[in-house]
């Protein structure tokens, strides 16, 4: 509380003058040495309205002296032994005056910081007078103040101004938890380091955080298995410092391949995205690493039940820094409970599980080693206040080696799988005053998948399988942004892309006299011009209109991608919005049933061509509304999406045929979010309902059928609670089962008689996840911070069925060989614990 000021004018007086007035006003006495109070000036209004204790507290803050009470009406004034104080305050938006929830308050050049609560309030304890405090929030200009500047009042009031870049303006703060916001153009933005803990995780994983958003469905429990509004995961655009990633996970999707400790900002689009994003028809996940040169070395080291990691951000000079980060699996060294559960789920109905079953019955040696690592670096150079040059690199590697040797059958076989994605980016950002800015970026991504299988009998090779899938992707992006006034931004740009794709599928088996190969070796050049017009009037009215004009050389085709988004405030806390987009994609994944020996990674990337793989095209329209008032948030979207150019193998219709047939899909959906926030507690419920259907002329007699990943209903209930240094999160997932194709037995002792296509559904899916975290300092200076996190996936160990298929096996139980139909149910993860420990400095 501050001293009351009514009609009087604020006055600056010497402390000695004020003490004299207080002695008369409250009938108290003060003892002090003159040298203690000399030169001290304070703000004081002579008025006996405030309690004496409040007045003295105010004087202590302003003078940084200690008033010790030695009797009812006597005080002694001393210099404090330590020059440290406690600071509190609130952070609000300069324009709207609303509190900023989840804003970050840190001590400059120190690893100490807090976040504002639901009221925008914060408190920092035991900090030095000369410390500089940095106040920051997504979409707002960062402000810095020295501690001494904040001592005139008991609790400071800090106002942050929206950034000049109208694209970054935030319309919803604390969207799900602290650190997650929604911008005026419909994107969701979050900073992994600032966000609260997510149910079931020990670290702020980028992709699992994205899956918390309404309308994003995951049916296989993988990190990158995100079906965004009727699309497939390969239709999503994933960028890491503008590098396009063709694989972004470890251990066949179980773990994200992006280290959250190096990530500064993630931007997610579920509908009409900015026109600068191209060659995708799904959602956009744009990941950006740190963009500031630190004053001193920062970093962290962490370990959990699947991997270890370390990262450093090193200032080489005031204008130059180097970021280095690396992670490595420990699964080849330690057989942890987490790895065992992941392995059990991943290797179901593969050659690995088959060999393990055989090895339990006969004399055999079996060995399986899985390994993964990722490594990224970034050099950041800011030669002037108007220039920023960065050079980024990322490397992702996954390998799996499996061998089986049986002395009983004189059998030997070996499977080797290697998946790598390497990428590089060079970007130059330039500002020409306050109105004009430019960006030039060159990026390169290289994807390589290699699989080899060799089988020997009595030391002689009788079968082998090989698969190669390689992509080289070069992109050059240039753009110029022009700010018209304070509310309008016009962006013009040109993009060039070169894609070279190769795949080889080879198989030979001397026992069944099979030898065949399939290859593709194509390249494509793309030329694109685009524009984006954005107008924003104080969040009351926003309109964004953009378009891309593309030329694909391999198709010899020109396409158009119009995009539009509009949002209007019709009540003080209530907005309506709508969007429309049309997109194309010329590189996609198809399911291949050619090399099924291993049973893992049976998808390969392929380029659209004039022969059998068409250009993917999508059209989506969305209507939405949201309300944010009194710590309540309600967000509603309804949408319709049509996709053409789908091949019959793209979604893998249970191996009906190896031929490529062309079709289309339709999605109608509704996404609904209700959230309530309290001071240290967030709770939300999200619900999705919809239908995704396919039409392929040569399948199901040309009639419409359910998509493989169609989820009719999905419900998610989650909450997050903070208490001192503890953070708890609990989440419950419930969804309807996905479709599968039933059958009525075998015909001619071999052929499966199917009843249709995706005519039935699996049992409903449900799971409970829990996470807890504890933060603490490991030294007195609070420069070394520790964190322990604990998570439980599938707390009550529900055996959900993720997929159902059928296989024909030979059975000779009755003395003669006959075919038998076996149902194969792929089960979800069981109860999966994980523990992590991290040290930050």
More confident residue, 752 or 118: 752
Indicate the pairing of strand 488-509 with strand 514-537. antiparallel
Radius of gyration for the chain, computed over Cα atoms and rounded to the nearest angstrom: 31
Share of the chain above pLDDT 70, in %: 92
* pLDDT at residue 6, as a whole number: 37
Question: Where would I find the beta strands (DSSP E) of 458-594?
Answer: 460-484, 488-509, 514-537, 541-552, 557-571, 574-585, 587-591
Interval 540-596: pLDDT, tens: 899 999 999 999 999 999 999 999 999 999 998 899 999 999 999 999 888 776 676
**pTM, full prediction:** 0.84
pLDDT tens digits along 112-141? 677 787 678 888 887 777 778 888 877 677
Mean of the per-residue pLDDT values of the chain: 87
pLDDT at residue 166 is higher than 50: yes
Is pLDDT of 352 > 70? Answer: yes
Q: Is the pLDDT of residue 835 over 90?
A: yes
Q: How far apart are CA 142 and CA 240, in angstroms?
A: 24
Residue 111 banded pLDDT, cuts 50, 70, 90:
low
CA distances from 188 to 64, 285, 303, 635 (A): 43, 10, 29, 13
**Percentage of residues in the chain having pLDDT higher than 90:** 49
Closest by CA to 166, choosing from 491, 411, 500, 597, is: 491
Res. 675: pLDDT tops 90: yes
Say which residue the tokens 């007086």 belong to: 13
- Higher per-residue pLDDT: 51 or 294: 294
Answer whether residue 169 shows pLDDT above 90: no
**Mean pLDDT, rounded, for 612-635:** 92
- The domains located in the chain, with CATH, are 12-81 (3.55.50.30), 85-173 (2.60.40.1120), 371-744+756-766 (2.40.170.20)
The distance of Cα 763 from the centroid of its chain, to the nearest Å, equals 29
Q: Which residue has the tokens 């800090």?
A: 158
Q: Confidence band (pLDDT; 50, 70, 90) for 653?
A: low
Mean pLDDT of 441-457: 94
Residue 1, pLDDT above cutoff 60 = no
Q: What is the mean pLDDT of residues 607-628?
A: 92
Cα 303 to Cα 306, 326, 378, distances in angstroms: 8, 12, 23
Query: How confident is the model at residue 165, as a pLDDT?
Result: 55
User: Within 10 Å of residue 141's Cβ, how many Cβ atoms?
Assistant: 14
CA dihedral 767, 772, 773, 774 (to 10 degrees): 180
In this prediction, residue 2 has a pLDDT band, given cuts at 50, 70 and 90, of very low
At 364 the three-state DSSP class reads strand
For the cut 80, the answer to whether the pLDDT of residue 799 exceeds it is yes
Q: According to the model, what pLDDT value does residue 148 have?
A: 67
pLDDT band at 463 (very low <50, low <70, confident <90, very high): confident
DSSP class of residue 598 equals S
Residue 735: pLDDT above 90?
A: yes
Give me the mean pLDDT over the 758-777 stretch.
94
The Cβ-side half-sphere exposure at 803, using a 13 Å CA radius, reads 17
Count of CB atoms situated within 10 Å of the CB of 99: 18
DSSP-assigned beta bridge partners for residue 526: 497, 552
User: 310-348, pLDDT tens digit by residue?
Assistant: 999 999 999 999 999 999 999 888 889 999 999 999 999
H or E element, residue 299: strand 298-303
Using one digit for the tens of pLDDT, what is the confidence trace for 22-65?
Answer: 888 888 888 887 888 888 888 877 666 667 888 888 888 888 78
Question: Can you tell me which residue has the tokens 């309404």?
Answer: 214
More confident call, 469 vs 332: 469
Q: Per-residue pLDDT for 9 more than 50?
A: no
Q: Give the pLDDT confidence score for residue 101 in this predicted structure.
A: 76
Look at strands 739-740 and 84-93 and give their pairing.
unpaired
For 108-199, list the strands marked E by DSSP.
113-115, 121-128, 132-136, 143-146, 155-160, 170-172, 180-183, 188-190
pLDDT at 428 over 90: yes
Does residue 399 or residue 84 have the better pLDDT?
Answer: 399
Written as one string, the DSSP assignment of 405-430 is EETTTTEEEEEEEEEEEEEEEEEEEE
Of how many residues is the chain composed? 841
- pLDDT on residue 143: 85
Residue 54 sits at φ, ψ, to 5 deg, of -70, -40
- pLDDT tops 90 at residue 481: yes
C-alpha span between 200 and 621 (Å, rounded): 33
pLDDT, one tens digit per residue, over 254-276 is 889 999 999 999 999 998 899 99
């Amino acid at each position: 509380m501050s001293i009351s000021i009514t009609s009087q004018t604020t006055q600056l007086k010497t402390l000695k003058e004020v003490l004299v007035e207080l002695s008369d006003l409250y009938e108290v006495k003060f003892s002090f040495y003159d040298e203690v109070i000399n030169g001290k000036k304070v703000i004081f209004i002579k008025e006996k309205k405030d309690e004496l204790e409040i007045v003295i507290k105010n004087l202590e803050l302003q003078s940084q002296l200690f008033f010790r009470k030695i009797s009812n009406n006597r005080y002694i004034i001393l210099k404090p032994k330590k020059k440290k104080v406690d600071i509190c305050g609130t952070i609000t938006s300069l324009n709207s005056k609303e509190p900023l929830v989840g804003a970050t308050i840190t001590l400059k050049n120190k690893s100490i910081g807090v976040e504002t609560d639901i009221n925008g309030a914060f408190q920092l304890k035991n900090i030095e007078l000369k410390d500089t405090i940095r106040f920051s929030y997504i979409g707002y200009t960062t402000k810095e103040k020295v501690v001494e500047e904040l001592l005139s009042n008991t609790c400071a009031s800090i106002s942050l101004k929206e950034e000049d870049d109208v694209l970054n303006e935030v319309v919803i703060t604390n969207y799900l938890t602290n650190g997650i916001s929604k911008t005026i153009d419909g994107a969701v933005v979050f900073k992994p380091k600032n966000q609260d803990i997510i149910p079931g995780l020990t670290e702020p994983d980028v992709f699992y955080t994205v899956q918390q958003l309404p309308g994003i469905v995951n049916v296989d429990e993988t990190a990158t298995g995100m079906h965004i509004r009727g699309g497939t995961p390969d239709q999503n655009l994933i960028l890491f410092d503008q590098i396009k990633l063709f694989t972004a996970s470890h251990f066949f999707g179980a773990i994200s391949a992006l280290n959250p400790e190096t990530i500064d900002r993630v931007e997610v689009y579920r509908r009409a995205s900015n026109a600068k994003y191209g060659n995708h028809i799904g959602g956009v996940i744009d990941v950006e690493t740190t963009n500031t040169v630190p004053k001193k070395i920062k970093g962290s080291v962490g370990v959990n039940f699947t991997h270890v990691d370390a990262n450093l951000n090193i200032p080489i000079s005031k204008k130059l820094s180097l970021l280095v980060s690396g992670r490595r699996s420990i699964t080849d060294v330690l057989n942890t409970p987490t790895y065992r559960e992941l392995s059990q789920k991943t290797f179901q109905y593969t050659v690995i599980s088959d060999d393990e079953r055989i090895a339990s019955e006969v004399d055999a040696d079996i060995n399986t080693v899985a390994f993964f690592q990722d490594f990224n670096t970034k050099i950041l150079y800011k030669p002037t206040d108007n220039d920023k040059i960065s050079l980024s690199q990322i490397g992702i590697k996954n390998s799996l080696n499996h061998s089986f040797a049986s002395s009983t059958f004189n059998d030997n076989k070996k499977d080797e799988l290697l998946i790598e994605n390497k990428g590089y980016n060079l970007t130059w950002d330039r500002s020409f005053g306050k109105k004009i800015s430019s960006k030039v970026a060159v990026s390169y991504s290289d994807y390589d998948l290699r699989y080899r299988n060799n089988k020997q009998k009595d030391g002689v090779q009788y079968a082998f399988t090989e698969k190669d899938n390689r992509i080289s992707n070069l992109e050059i992006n240039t753009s110029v942004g022009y700010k018209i006034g304070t509310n309008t931004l016009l962006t013009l740009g040109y993009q060039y892309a070169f894609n070279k794709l190769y795949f080889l599928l080879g198989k030979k088996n001397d026992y069944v006299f099979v030898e065949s190969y399939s290859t593709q070796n194509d390249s494509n050049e793309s030329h694109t011009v685009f524009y984006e017009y954005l107008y924003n009037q104080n969040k009351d009215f926003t309109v964004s209109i953009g378009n891309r004009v593309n030329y694909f050389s391999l198709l010899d085709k020109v396409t158009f991608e119009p995009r539009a988004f509009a949002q209007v405030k019709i009540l003080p806390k209530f907005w309506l919005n709508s969007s429309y987009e049309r997109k194309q994609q010329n590189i996609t994944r198809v399911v291949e049933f050619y090399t099924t020996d291993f049973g893992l990674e049976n998808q390969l990337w392929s380029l659209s061509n004039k022969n059998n793989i068409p250009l993917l095209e999508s059209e989506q329209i969305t209507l939405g509304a949201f309300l944010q008032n009194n710590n309540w948030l309600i967000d509603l979207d309804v949408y319709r999406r049509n996709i053409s150019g789908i091949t019959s193998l793209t979604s893998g219709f249970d191996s009906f045929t190896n031929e490529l047939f062309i079709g289309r899909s339709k999605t109608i959906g509704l996404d609904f979010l209700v959230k309530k926030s309290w001071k240290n507690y967030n709770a939300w419920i999200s619900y999705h309902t919809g239908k995704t259907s396919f039409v392929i002329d040569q399948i199901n007699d040309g009639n419409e059928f359910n998509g493989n990943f169609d989820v009719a209903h999905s419900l998610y209930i989650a909450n997050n609670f903070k208490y001192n240094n503890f953070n708890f999160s609990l989440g419950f997932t419930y969804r309807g089962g996905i479709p599968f194709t039933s059958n009525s037995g075998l015909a001619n002792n071999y052929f499966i008689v199917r009843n249709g296509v995706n005519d039935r559904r699996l049992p409903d899916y449900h799971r409970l996840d829990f996470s807890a975290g504890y933060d603490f300092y490991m030294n007195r200076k609070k420069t070394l911070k520790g964190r322990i996190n604990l998570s439980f996936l599938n707390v009550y160990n529900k055996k959900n069925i993720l997929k159902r298929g059928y296989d024909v096996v030979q059975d000779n139980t009755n003395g003669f060989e006959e075919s038998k139909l076996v149902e194969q149910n792929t089960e979800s993860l069981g109860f999966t614990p994980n523990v992590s420990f991290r040290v930050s400095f």
